[in-house]
Structure 1
Amino acid sequence: MSSRPRKARFALLAAALAVTGAAYGVTSASAEVTTQLTAAQLVTDMGAGWNLGNQLEASNNGIPSETAWGNPVITQALINKVKASGFKTIRIPVSYLGKIGAGPNYTVDAAWLNRIQEVVNYAYNQGLYVVVNMHGDGYKSVGGSWLICDAADQTTVKAKYQKVWQQVATKFANYNDHLILESMNEEFDGQYGNPTQPCYSNINAYNQIFVDTVRQTGGTNASRWLLVPGWNTNIDYTVGNYGFTLPTDRYRASSVPSTEQRIMISVHYYDPWDFTGQEDGAVTQWGPNATNAAKKSTWGQEDYLDGQLKKVRDTFIARGYPVLVGEYGSIDKTAYDSASNRYRADYARALVSAAKKYGAATAYWDNGYNGQHGFGLFDRGSATVTQQGIIDAIMTAAGGSQPSSSPTTSPSTSPSASPSTSPSTGPGGTASCRVTSAVNAWNTGLTTTVTITNTGATAVNGWTLTFTLASGQSIVSGWNATYSPAGGRVTATNVSYNGTLAPGGSAGIGYQASHTGNAAAPTGFTLNGAACS
């Protein structure tokens, strides 16, 4: 099976234990616009992902609270550290539970919605992708749960579900495509055998309600990517002939090309469970580097993992539906085997490598707990890294440690500056540079993506890229560089993770700007004082 009821156990354990980096970041999203990424562009741009698990899904006696399971209050510093470590996507699991009022309106507590938005903005304003879902409301083991697929009164369940998503979607209607909404998490009837009917039919119905409701709230919701799971996010029960059906997308914006999708598929991967989640010392090793056959699972090795990811490629990705492995990971067993973290890193590397091979995105499950049986990669209190080896493995497999998240332009977008080379001298060193840029514009705004490539034989260590905005344009948000001033002759300065450009290396940056009718591309690029185009 791909999942086990690990979260409830970690919640009990945790309960028992009782400055934005991009300039001009917005605090709330207004006048945002879809960049209409294709499936392949989206997955590439999302890069390596990370879960802010056991926080906004945490609850006590049915009341959500981000500290209820032992984690500290979420901070901007934590999200900054996650980004600086190379992650480009953050998945934020959310419970609503007792924060939902009585029917028929099922009003969600305004303070809770505002806190969700605040945490989303910690990541969104950094240029990261953010996935927001409905998480704990479907766990039978959680007090106050109600999104239960085999509950008798499905009419009430569906009405409540529709009203909650209507409010959440409205809250985020104007955020751009860096926000992805996910209908639910690991919904199933509580048993791990073959899916039952009509439970699967109800899961399909929830997904359809979710898509219809979000689309009809308008704004960017009419075209943004929406993420839906099958039964228990289990790969076999989603790709196989067990009852999963893709929701129709009849209300999506007409601006979306008819040949493209805007529905994503969510799956989780925790195989083999005796290595990834079973809380004992029997199986502590995994993969080809295992040194003790007695401590290695008899199944679920690299060939099996590869086969599972190939299934999602063949079933969904090949048809234009991107897949997010929204959770994967393994617990700390160093108490039983001092080399445990080596195998955890091997496991993460293999999963991300296979996902990249077959065109899927990934998000590591981090529950905030470090130490025996924890999934944590970061100390959330001090905003520091605790498992650099696992993070390095993820970034290596994902294709590098330098985040370059930016709205990828659609195929119809044409380059606005042709590549050219020239010597670049300055504090960062001497090199030859090539700059390309592309603009995606709408009535009063635009996004511009810029790629800087070092075509010289020596490294550039620290850079500033200067360019001129067209008259009437003003930068309102940016990513992967700091920008000053907002208009006229602008200087973009590298951030901590992309300041070194090795020979042949590139950095991708970008910004969103308003305009007064002139959507022309930037001109006059110089890198460390020397012209690039």
Structure 2
Amino acid sequence: MADMRDKLRKIRWRVGLLATGMASLLAGMGVVAVTDAQAAAGCRVVYSVPSQWQGGFSGSVSITNLGDPITNGWRLTWAFPSGQTVTQAWSATVTASGSQVTATNVGYNASIPTNGSVSFGFNGSWTGTNTNPSSFALNGVTCTGDTTTTTSTTTTTTTTTTTNPPAGDAMARVAEMQPGWNLGNSLDATGADETSWGNPRITEALLDNVRAQGFKSIRIPVTWSAHQGGAPSYTIEATYLARVKEVVNWALADGFYVMINIHHDSWQWINAMPTDRTNVLARYNAAWTQIATAFRDASPKLMLESVNEPQFANSSGDAQNAQLLNELNTSFHRIVRGSGGNNATRLLVLPTLHTSSEQARVDELVATFNTLNDPNLIATFHFYGYWPFSVNVAGGTKFDAAVQKDLTDSFDRVANAFVARGIPVILGEYGLLGFDRHTGTIQQGEKLKFFEFLGHYARTKKITTMLWDNGQHFGRTSYQWSDPELIAQIKSSWTTRSGTASSDQVFSAKSSAITAKTLTLNLNGTSFVGLRQGSTDLVRGTDYTVSGDQLTITASAITRLSGSRAYGTNATLSARFSAGVPWRINLVTYDKPVLQNATGTTSAFAIPTQFRGDQLATMEAKYADGSNAGPHNWTSYKEFDVAFAPDYAASTTTLKPEFFAEVTDGSRVTLTFHYWSGATVTYYVTKSGTSVTGTLS
């Protein structure tokens, strides 16, 4: 994915991206029979907890109608005895009032014939204990396991087994895959070896450690092109296929649900299909014939994905793109299903064009699903955020309403098209495009708000998520997270919401007297608990006040906590909420940054910068006539870490060769540097051939 990010960056303004695998079930089965059934109706409910983790669990409910046929919809009610709550549900609409829970049918399962059954599942949260409900009522009639009016003693039978979700219940199985992780830039590397993109060889220990992080599914992208022979057989190297099987078997042994695919082949040779259809289709079919044969007897926890981020070069337009992708997806489906074994019912994953969530792309995939009419299919898309925010360009520095709407619109489109019809969806990859350089491209607090909201909204839409990780997140040999604060927020979002705030930084100018500072709290359904420094609670009313969603830190508290007021972060506070992870607040002392004159070349130009405790947010570039200078000349705000980059350790601000490559020779460019404190500094650069001069005036 790494090199493709740059190629696709422009078209991904509205493109969504996601990934996930599957995990084993430990089913704690509770069969409940209660009292007071009516003679004209009857029902039996099997309630189970297939999996449970700290603070969360997955529930499965099966209803058998023992009475007259139900034709106009059903309603199942129960009470949670231990205060559990439902956070996500599939194949039913679940609402709650206190401990009382009501589940109603969705459109496709409104009828239950006599002795017929329906099932649904959910994810929930718990504290203390997770006791099974003891009584259920279907359409107001208590379920006793028979159709008589006699009173029976309530019994609960509990057994423990290890099993897969019921065959055919794709929604439940995909829900069990949450959360998922991508083993990126390894087997999908386009060189001759899995280490060719800089990651070490995959080890069993790596997968063990990923599993220990709480991930239940793993997507293992595989690029086959360098290991596939020529026409007509297009034979895959036996040693490479054996290596893929080895890694897959390690993952299955760890209890993961696993997804493999055809990955960067999508842009290496599959994209030539508009002008070379016969050869591309022959190679694609040969690849899937061999892969399907190799894995036909693998565990049902293995899923196959037809192609990663499908795209076509030199096509005639959307209609041809849709026709070609439908041909690939349909051919893949025919080959895998026809290979027999577990492939006859294996979960298969089909993407939209570019794995986009645009409505037209979604509609095209819906048409393919309608034609195939297979209950064991999964739709997938990818999501890397609203492009200006995702790479920090065009002033997209904050997680604002535009960023949030882009996410909700994307998730709504796929959920309405698929999940609402009982078709599961996997977000096969997600992240931010700026992460391909480093995770500092997007400011930390704004980044955390993005991931907190993404996890929450995916849960509400019953979308299983798979984090894209090409080595920049989880260390492949250290088994440590490069950004612990980020992964803590991501993990929390799997089960609950976290409170955040308008900023994670409070700036006080050293050159001025300290004043009280106010932040707006984003409670996200939680309640504010308190403010703390380390293990010490600050005093409400003295150190801070809260009025509605306004948190004000008093001048006296900032003065005390800032000490000698050295430039930079003087103290770190944590705002704590009733759920989720705390929100870090840095108390920062700063003064307006100071830049100096400089000379250099278009390939090496750095402005000496005294940041004085501040941090750079973005940079504008304009010519003297007010027109925009540099790359992306439709905006004055340039791309962070591509056109410019701060180096706080070296006390410099670098202007990159990519910036000067699109600056008119001989022109004077006015730069405006915007800092997170709100300060701005104006600077001027003039390019003359390969020489660059920078001045303050």
Aligned to 1:428: none
Counterpart contact for 1:150–1:198, Cα < 8 Å = no
Of structures 1 and 2, the one with the larger relative CO (CA 8 A, separation 6+) is 1
The answer on 1:224 being equivalent to 2:327 is no
Work out which of the residue numbers 382, 399, 403 in structure 2 matches 1:286. Answer: 399
Aligned to 2:300: 177
Work out which of the residue numbers 190, 193, 197 in structure 1 matches 2:319. Answer: 197
2:4 & 2:391 partners in 1: Cα distance? Answer: 10
Larger Rg: 2
The one-letter code sitting in structure 2 at the alignment partner of 1:348 is F
Other structure's SS at 1:246 match: helix
The answer on 1:377 being equivalent to 2:473 is yes
Aligned to 1:393: 489
User: What does 1:328-477 align with in structure 2 at a 5 Å threshold?
Assistant: 328-330=430-432, 331-332=434-435, 340-368=443-471, 376-399=472-495
Cα 1:104/1:173, change in 2 over 3 Å = same
2:448 & 2:320 partners in 1: Cα distance? Answer: 40
Work out which of the residue numbers 397, 402, 407 in structure 2 matches 1:299. Answer: 402
Other structure's SS at 2:358 match: helix
Work out which of the residue numbers 207, 228, 232 in structure 2 matches 1:104. Answer: 232
Other structure's SS at 1:82 match: helix
The answer on 1:309 being equivalent to 2:411 is yes
Aligned to 2:377: 263
Work out which of the residue numbers 199, 209, 214 in structure 2 matches 1:86. Answer: 214
Counterpart contact for 2:362–2:414, Cα < 8 Å = no
Cα 1:333/1:135, change in 2 over 3 Å = closer
Shift of 1:219: 0.9
Work out which of the residue numbers 215, 228, 231 in structure 1 matches 2:337. Answer: 215
Counterpart contact for 1:201–1:243, Cα < 8 Å = no
| Unmatched segments (≥5 aa) in structure 1 | 11-20, 23-31, 140-144, 251-257, 288-297, 369-375, 402-533
The answer on 1:166 being equivalent to 2:289 is yes
Shift of 1:129: 1.0
Cα 1:34/1:117, change in 2 over 3 Å = farther
**Which shifted more, 234-243 or 104-113?**
234-243
Cα 1:195/1:42, change in 2 over 3 Å = farther
Other structure's SS at 1:197 match: helix
Aligned to 1:129: 257
Shift of 1:211: 0.5
**Which shifted more, 390-399 or 120-129?**
390-399
The one-letter code sitting in structure 1 at the alignment partner of 2:489 is A
Q: Superposition RMSD on alpha carbons, in Å?
A: 3.4
The one-letter code sitting in structure 1 at the alignment partner of 2:320 is P
Counterpart contact for 1:149–1:200, Cα < 8 Å = no
Aligned to 2:625: none
2:328 & 2:437 partners in 1: Cα distance? Answer: 41
Cα 1:162/1:390, change in 2 over 3 Å = same
Other structure's SS at 1:66 match: coil
| TM-score, reference length from structure 2 | 0.45
Q: Deviations over 1:157-183 (max 9, x none)?
A: 111111111111111111222111000
Work out which of the residue numbers 66, 69, 79 in structure 1 matches 2:197. Answer: 69
Other structure's SS at 2:260 match: strand
Q: Deviations over 1:333-369 (max 9, x none)?
A: 998969823332322222222111111111111111x
Other structure's SS at 1:353 match: helix
Q: Deviations over 1:465-521 (max 9, x none)?
A: xxxxxxxxxxxxxxxxxxxxxxxxxxxxxxxxxxxxxxxxxxxxxxxxxxxxxxxxx
1:270 & 1:199 partners in 2: Cα distance? Answer: 22
Shift of 1:329: 0.5
Aligned to 1:54: 185
Aligned to 1:471: none
Counterpart contact for 1:34–1:224, Cα < 8 Å = no
Other structure's SS at 1:245 match: helix
Aligned to 1:44: 175
Shift of 1:305: 1.4
**Which shifted more, 212-221 or 327-336?**
327-336
The one-letter code sitting in structure 1 at the alignment partner of 2:325 is I
The one-letter code sitting in structure 1 at the alignment partner of 2:167 is Q
Cα 1:166/1:332, change in 2 over 3 Å = closer
The one-letter code sitting in structure 2 at the alignment partner of 1:312 is V
Shift of 1:58: 0.6
Cα 1:339/1:167, change in 2 over 3 Å = closer
Other structure's SS at 1:152 match: coil
Counterpart contact for 1:268–1:327, Cα < 8 Å = yes
The one-letter code sitting in structure 2 at the alignment partner of 1:108 is I
How many residues of Structure 1 are paired with residues of Structure 2 in the alignment?
A: 344
Counterpart contact for 2:337–2:343, Cα < 8 Å = yes
* Larger strand share, 1 or 2: 2
2:356 & 2:441 partners in 1: Cα distance? Answer: 31
The one-letter code sitting in structure 2 at the alignment partner of 1:310 is D
Shift of 1:127: 0.6
Cα 1:163/1:338, change in 2 over 3 Å = closer
Q: Deviations over 1:308-343 (max 9, x none)?
A: 212111111111211111111024599896982333
1:96 & 1:334 partners in 2: Cα distance? Answer: 26
| Unmatched segments (≥5 aa) in structure 2 | 10-22, 25-162, 498-697
1:332 & 1:218 partners in 2: Cα distance? Answer: 41
Shift of 1:130: 0.8
